[in-house]
A and B are shown apart, each in its own frame.
Chain A
Amino acid sequence: MVRFVDEFRDADKAQALAARIAERCEPGREYKLMEVCGGHTHTIYKHGLEDYLPETVTLVHGPGCPVCVIPMGRVDDAMHIAAQPDVIMTSFGDMMRVPGSHGSFLDSKAAGTDIRMVYSPLDALKIAKQNPEKRVVFMAIGFETTAPSTAMTVLRAAADGIDNFSIFCNHVTIIPAIKAILDSPDLRLDGFIGPGHVSTVIGCRPYEFIARGYGKPLVVAGFEPLDILQSIYMIMGQLAEGRCEVDNQYTRVVPWDGNLKALQVINEVMELRPYFEWRGLGFISHSALRVRDAYARFDAERLFDLPGVRVADPKACQCGEVLKGVLKPWECKVFGTACTPETPIGTCMVSPEGACAAYYNFGRFTRTRVMEATRT
């Protein structure tokens, strides 16, 4: 038994919750709920959670996969930095396979650039300390979840006087992305499963406009399968009673007001960009972070002369529609044939948290056939 894991995967409890979710469904009504966060998408597929949902409840996979929203131009810029003399580029593992217009980090690494996988930005800083003659750049990606650790690392670099370390900042913020989806005309959603880890930092208040302005319930959820099932039950309760509020299922981790210290650290080092391009969603105002002037010496965007060329998403790729939940992954024209996890065209196929990769790797079957096969 692994504590804090097994108790959140109990099949009996899941069965009981599933029955109660079914009770809350109005006959003849279809429900579309979006899980915003890629971590949730991964959990849903990894544990086969949809087996527990009534056919009238559909989960729509949202834009909250940090790797999936990075546009090709930014990947090209990062590879340009990596190709400069004496540079060691460092990156999270997820990023390694994301295609730019000339291949991915893995291809670039095979061709001889020094790109290393790290588990935390502090590991990148350690590499900088160990290699004073090199320029070490950290490819910073992620929502408010990972931004604090990037910001902390910059502060540490400043405090320790390490001047051969910088970050290529691609941090994005979740609220403008949700708003872009809510404003998208081709979408009909009944409620949101709110991102858990982002909310440990920003808290639950920033979502209130969704309930008030758009009339959709949102429940912040944890990442174990029972967490998600319970938050679906909570959303269904609101819908049944005609309420729409922000609620918190993940109280064991998420404080209502978020983590003030983490927000302060982000705010110390970073500021909002006027606009930023999101893969598939286009330019969204005030949706990403950049390094403040005070920390300019740690900002790879200023230290290196970047091409900064905007690269249009490949024509065949329908990542945007998938990210907005308009299309199911398998409804994309190139899904599974031209675009596979092995040769991804779109970013949704790269990260294990991307909707397409999750469906391809874990859910590529029709339920009726599988029910037959798994019956014992």
Chain B
Amino acid sequence: MSTVDREQQVLERIDRARRARARVKDERITLAHGAGGKATHSLIEAVFLEAFRNPILEPLEDQAVFSVGGARLAFTTDSYVVRPLFFPGGDIGELAVNGTVNDLAMSGAQPLYLSVGVILEEGFPVADLARVTDSMARAAQAAGVQVVTGDTKVVERGKADGCYLNTTGVGVITHDLRLGAGEARPGDVVLVSGPIGDHGVTIMLARGELDIEADLGSDTAPLADLVQRMLAAAPGVRCMRDATRGGVATILNEIARASEAAVVIDERAIPVRTEVRGASEILGIDPLYVACEGRFVAVVDPANADAALDALRAHPLGAGAAVIGQVKADPPTLVLLKTEFGGTRIVDVLIGDPLPRIC
């Protein structure tokens, strides 16, 4: 057998191993389980999906979609444990509203109502709490949603990092499009709504552990209006995902896997701010894996791609939108990157937190 054939055989064996049912081999939860990469996926599939399996949950989209009394609703929840609580361009409150609004928006829903759960640590300044709630109120107004119910718990000092938030949201879907990570088809065009990685890099720098400064703020923003305008202009949208934890790379992998297709992207076409690129170079991380809080990826029918791009660019939150790649039939389930250098490589799912390299 030739070397190429042997290599191909090994690759197919690996592919089968990767499709095998997820298992959690660890005895304890590690931070990797929360980082949005492979460990998170295994935990969700092996523990939560196993326990709660049902047809609404099973697609593992960012929101559940179901009908009640003739209305199609989108329903989602998210918790926020960001540190620091206040950072350039936003704070935990704004993030908690926008994050849930965006998870609803990605189904094409009009977000309507939110709940807020607050876990406070003994000793947390009331003035800081007021700052957080003020910011939530402003964000809710900007996104056109109301906070209609909530809950408060206080835990002993040392049991929480100041303030944790949870928001749950409901929205209504009026379109009749079929959207989902599994809907991408060969030939489809992949778009991103703006420069990537601003939020994640801002947070890393705001922690002050790196002694790097950059003129950069979080990209946190409510995306429902932007999405509605794009859907109105381009009904050929197949799927949308906001590029939060795990970044654009993780989402593209989810799409490639769910659609049994390849996603091929061009590094030169991906919008990344110079500050984000510079900081990423120094830290040895890849902006493709860095979280955004106001950017999303859309896969669109090629006939509608220009209309979708124009609609995004006409909106202030989508001014930096770009076509970054294409869906292909082969090799299925892989995300490939044409590098700026002119080579090719895989963009895989991350294992744990992006750990900085040492030299």
Q: State whether these chains interact.
A: yes
Residues of B within 8 A of A73 (CB): none
A46 and chain B: residue at smallest CB distance? B345
One of A249-257, A260-268, A356-364 contacting the partner? A356-364
18 A–B contacts from the bound complex (CB under 8 Å) = A2-B281, A6-B340, A11-B341, A14-B341, A46-B339, A50-B343, A51-B342, A93-B355, A93-B357, A106-B32, A142-B358, A146-B359, A226-B341, A336-B13, A342-B351, A360-B14, A362-B348, A368-B4
Specify which of A6, A107, A337 is in contact with B28 (CB 8 Å cutoff). A107
**Segment at the interface with B among A109-117, A180-188, A317-325:** A109-117
Check if A341 is an interface residue, CB within 8 A of chain B: yes
Min C-beta distance of B316 to chain A, whole Å: 25
B31 proximity list for chain A (CB < 8 A): 106, 110
- Asked if B30 contacts A11 (CB within 8 A), the reply is no
Across the interface, A48 reaches (CB within 8 A) one of B27, B345, B356, namely B345
Min Cβ gap B335→A in Å is 11
A6 CA / B11 CA spacing, docked (Å): 33
List the 8 shortest-distance A-B pairs measured between CB atoms, nearest first: A48-B343, A93-B355, A336-B14, A11-B342, A47-B341, A362-B345, A110-B28, A51-B343
* Contact between chains at A110 and B29 (CB < 8 Å): yes
Interface check A62, CB cutoff 8 A: no
A311 to B13, CA, bound (A): 30
A374 with B344: CB separation less than 8 A: yes
CA distance A294 to B291 in the complex (A): 48
CB of B209 within 8 A of CB of A119, answer yes
Cβ of B284: which chain A residues have Cβ within 8 Å of it? 352
> Cβ of A94 and Cβ of B358 under 8 Å apart?
yes
A1 at the interface (CB under 8 A from B): yes
Q: Is the CB of A370 within 8 A of B339?
A: no
Any A CB within 8 A of the CB of B338? yes
Tell me, yes or no, whether B7 is within 8 Å of chain A by CB: yes
A352 and B345 CA atoms in complex are apart in Å by 14
Q: Which residues of A sit under 8 angstroms from B10, Cβ to Cβ? A: 330-331, 335-336
Contact A117 B355 (CB under 8 A): yes
Give bound CA distance, A66 to B358, whole Å: 9
Across-interface contacts of A335 in B (CB, < 8 A): 10, 14
Evaluate whether A66 and B331 lie within 8 angstroms (CB atoms) in the complex, with A47-B339, A106-B30, A373-B264 already known.
no
- A232–B42 Cα gap in the complex (Å)? 41
Chain A residues with CB under 8 Å of B28's CB are 107, 110-111
B27: nearest residue on chain A (CB-CB)? A107
CB distance from B149 to the nearest CB of A (A): 35
Q: Which residue among A111, A362, A374 has the maximum number of chain B CB atoms within 10 Å of its CB?
A: A374
**Bound form: Cα–Cα A15–B351 in Å:** 33
Distance from B281 Cβ to chain A, minimum over Cβ atoms (Å): 6
The smallest beta-carbon distance between A309 and chain B, in angstroms, is: 22
> How big is the A interface, by class?
35 or more
Contact present for B29 and A93 (CB under 8 Å)? no
B344–A106 contact, CB under 8 A? no
Nearest residue, chain B, Cβ from A8 = B341
* B30-A119 in contact (CB<8A): no
Minimum CB–CB distance for B114 against chain A, Å:
33
| A15 to B342 CA separation, bound complex (whole angstroms) | 8
Q: A369-B330, A374-B338 are contacts. A363–B345 as well, Cβ < 8 Å?
A: yes
Q: How far is the CB of B19 from chain A (nearest CB, A)?
A: 12
B336's partner among A197, A226, A330, A373 (CB-CB below 8 A) is A373
**Binary contact readout A301-338 vs B (1 if CB under 8 angstroms, 0 otherwise):** 00000000000000000000000000010110001110
Q: Which residues of B contact A50 (CB under 8 A)?
A: 343
Contacts of A6 in B (CB 8 A): 340
Instruction: Among B4, B25, B337, B341, point to the contact of A225 (Cβ < 8 A).
Output: B341
Contact between chains at B11 and A364 (CB < 8 Å): yes
Alpha-carbon gap, A372 to B344, bound state (A): 12
- Counting CB contacts under 8 A, is A159 at the interface? no
A337 B274 Cβ-Cβ under 8 A: no
| Docked-complex contact A197 and B359, CB < 8 angstroms | yes
Contact present for B29 and A119 (CB under 8 Å):
no
Could you tell me the distance between the alpha carbons of A275 and B185 in the complex, rounded to whole angstroms? 58
Beyond A11-B340, A49-B343, A373-B331: 12 further Cβ-contacts under 8 Å? A2-B274, A2-B278, A5-B277, A5-B281, A97-B351, A106-B31, A106-B32, A109-B30, A142-B358, A226-B341, A362-B345, A365-B336
- Nearest neighbor of A15 in chain B, beta-carbon distance: B342
Asked if B331 and A97 make an inter-chain contact with CB atoms under 8 angstroms apart, the answer reads no
Question: A52 and B351 in contact (CB under 8 A), knowing A94-B358, A146-B358, A372-B330?
Answer: no
Taking CB atoms, residues of chain A closer than 8 Å to B351 are 97, 341-342
B346 neighbours in A (Cβ, 8 Å): 361-365
In the complex the two chains form, is B352's CB within 8 Å of A48's CB? no
As a 0/1 sequence over residues 133 to 168 of chain A, the CB contacts with chain B under 8 angstroms (1 = contact) are 000000001100110000000000000000000000
